[in-house]
Amino acid sequence: MSILVVGSVALDTIKTPQGTGKDILGGSATYFSISASFFNPVNLVAIVGYDFPSRYLKLLKKRGVDLTGLVIKRGKTFRWKGEYSWDFSYPKTLSTCLNVFSEFNPKIPPEYKKSQYLFLANIDPQIQRKVLNQVSPKLVALDTMDYWIENKRNHLLRLLGSVDLLLLNESEARMLTYQESIVKAAKELIKLGARMVIIKKGEHGSLLFSDKFIFSIPAFLLESIVDPTGAGDAFAGGVIGYLARCNKITQSNLKKALVYGAVMATFAVEDFSVRRLASIDAGDIRRRLKQFKRLSCF
């Protein structure tokens, strides 16, 4: 079952304790697409400027990502500059230049409309709504961030009733629900309309809540991280990629999807940009999944 992703494709300049990457391929839709592409075909809707390097287009195409929906517009590509300190928690944003992204008004190409799995990556909830109005997928997954919770809370809340799988991190879940307990926050989000909620906890793993069950996995343990950018989107790519491949939303598949998400996130953080993530193969995923099982099954 093919997957549709709507989000950002960007050029990032990132400094971490392990080094620096300048104008490297980034953006939520990029990390998601490449990660999900290991499981299923991906249809991408995004916008870039004339300065977008053709080698990055090639890279996406090589991973089988359909670029019919990628608008290339006069102007500059969305650029983000950030810096991580030693603990790799939140990055410090040094600059954000939306450029052509500020005019992003996603139109879903007709050939994308039958995509059954939709990932609304972290963008303005009003744009996410516009996308939802154009399609009727089997599963809608949605990511967001503190900025939208602060500035577009009501738009975001109104979306929740259309969301099957809401992905956010711990502090975002608390912000959106005013609940300190993560369990209470997740339950509140379900009450607000989301069918299921995934709480991403970075190096501490992730949690999945539905009204029927709760599932919890630790994170895969990496000795060193090069660049955590995109980990959450690569995680989402693994989760939704796996679900689309199974094409059956069962409790058991959801649990495995979470594990595949964790596995894909580890590849994302092992190098800058999608360098490592785009260069793996099915064998790498299989091996890491095995390691994950050894790490966490008792």
Residue ranges binding a copy of itself (CB under 8 A): 86-87, 180-184, 201, 203-205, 207, 213-219, 221-224, 252, 255-256, 258-259, 294-298
Beta carbon of residue 223, minimum distance to a copy of itself (angstroms, whole number):
4
Would you tell me the crossing angle of helices 231-246 and 251-269 to the nearest 10 degrees? Answer: 140
Closer residue to a copy of itself in complex, CB, 53/205: 205
Rounded to 5 degrees, φ, ψ at 185 are -60, -45
Beta carbon of residue 16, minimum distance to a copy of itself (angstroms, whole number):
12
Beta carbon of residue 218, minimum distance to a copy of itself (angstroms, whole number):
4
Cα within 13 Å of Cα(92), Cβ side: 9
Beta carbon of residue 222, minimum distance to a copy of itself (angstroms, whole number):
7
Tokens 């290339």, located at residue:
72
Residue 261 has a CB neighbour count (10 Å cut-off) of 28
How long, in residues, is the chain? 298
Q: Can you read off the two tokens belonging to residue 286?
A: 């299989």
Beta carbon of residue 205, minimum distance to a copy of itself (angstroms, whole number):
6
Identity of residue 108: I
Beta carbon of residue 71, minimum distance to a copy of itself (angstroms, whole number):
39
User: What is the C-alpha separation between 289 and 159, in angstroms, rounded?
Assistant: 33
DSSP 3-state percent helix, strand, coil across the chain (nearest 5): 40, 25, 35
Closer residue to a copy of itself in complex, CB, 6/196: 196
Beta carbon of residue 256, minimum distance to a copy of itself (angstroms, whole number):
6
User: What is the C-alpha separation between 262 and 260, in angstroms, rounded?
Assistant: 5
User: What is the C-alpha separation between 101 and 45, in angstroms, rounded?
Assistant: 12
Closer residue to a copy of itself in complex, CB, 116/216: 216
Closer residue to a copy of itself in complex, CB, 85/102: 85
Residue 215 has a CB neighbour count (10 Å cut-off) of 17
Closer residue to a copy of itself in complex, CB, 86/95: 86
Closer residue to a copy of itself in complex, CB, 92/204: 204
User: What is the C-alpha separation between 237 and 214, in angstroms, rounded?
Assistant: 21
Closer residue to a copy of itself in complex, CB, 73/256: 256
User: What is the C-alpha separation between 250 and 33, in angstroms, rounded?
Assistant: 23
User: What is the C-alpha separation between 15 and 56, in angstroms, rounded?
Assistant: 20
Beta carbon of residue 187, minimum distance to a copy of itself (angstroms, whole number):
8
Closer residue to a copy of itself in complex, CB, 62/293: 293
User: What is the C-alpha separation between 8 and 48, in angstroms, rounded?
Assistant: 8
